[in-house]
């Protein structure tokens, strides 16, 4: 069975990143955990080189650089960290999942909005509501009938 590090990362059904394009490092996680924290490197940093990845088309690369520009280093590296679990393997899986989610969301092209016009009935309802609301406000300034 292939380990987590050796499997390609499926970003979308048509985009798979080979494992050798993902750099993985383990560091010591901060926070509570007693003596275990001082001995075990369970926090995972996963790095992907967006700027020079051969797996990406020019369109995909440009889109990722544009949409994820604020998350990239100057050299075009995208870094994801995970330290929620005590086991390194689970943190690696979590980091891979986050990276795939980030890339898939950035590559998604939104559908173009087609302009529509409001129906006649909806325009009538809007104007009727405006008249009713205006009448309510006008009534506030008048004295009640019958009181003298």
| In the chain, where the domains are located | 9-107
pLDDT at 54: 87
Q: How far is CA 110 from the centre of its chain?
A: 14
Task: Give the CA radius of gyration of the chain.
Answer: 28
Segment 71-127, tens digit of pLDDT:
888 888 888 888 888 788 888 889 889 988 988 888 888 899 999 999 999 999 999
CATH of 9-107, one of 3.40.1000.10, 3.90.76.10, 3.40.50.450, 3.30.160.20: 3.30.160.20
Distance CA 40, CA 111 (A): 46
Closest CA to 50 of 68, 34, 33: 68
Scanning 20-77, the segments in alpha helix (DSSP H) are 35-39, 58-67
User: CA 50, CA 78: separation in Å to the nearest integer?
Assistant: 7
Asked if residues 34 and 125 have their Cβ atoms less than 8 Å apart, the reply is: no
Greatest mean pLDDT among 8-17, 58-67, 120-129 lies in 120-129
- Which has more pLDDT, 106 or 132? 132
């Amino acid at each position: 069975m292939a380990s987590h590090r050796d499997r390609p990362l499926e970003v979308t059904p048509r985009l798979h990143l080979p494992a050798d394009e993902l750099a993985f490092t383990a560091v010591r996680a901060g926070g509570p955990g007693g003596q275990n924290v001082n001995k075990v490197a369970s926090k995972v940093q996963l790095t992907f080189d967006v700027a020079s990845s051969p797996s990406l088309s020019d369109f995909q690369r440009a889109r990722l650089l544009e949409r994820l520009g604020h998350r990239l280093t100057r050299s075009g590296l995208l870094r994801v960290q995970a330290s929620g679990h005590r086991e390194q393997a689970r943190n690696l899986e979590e980091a891979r999942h986050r990276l795939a989610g980030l890339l898939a969301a950035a590559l998604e092209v939104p559908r173009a909005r087609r302009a529509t016009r409001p129906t006649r009935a909806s325009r009538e309802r809007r104007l009727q509501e405006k008249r009713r609301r205006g009448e309510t406000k006008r009534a506030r300034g008048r004295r009640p009938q019958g009181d003298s």
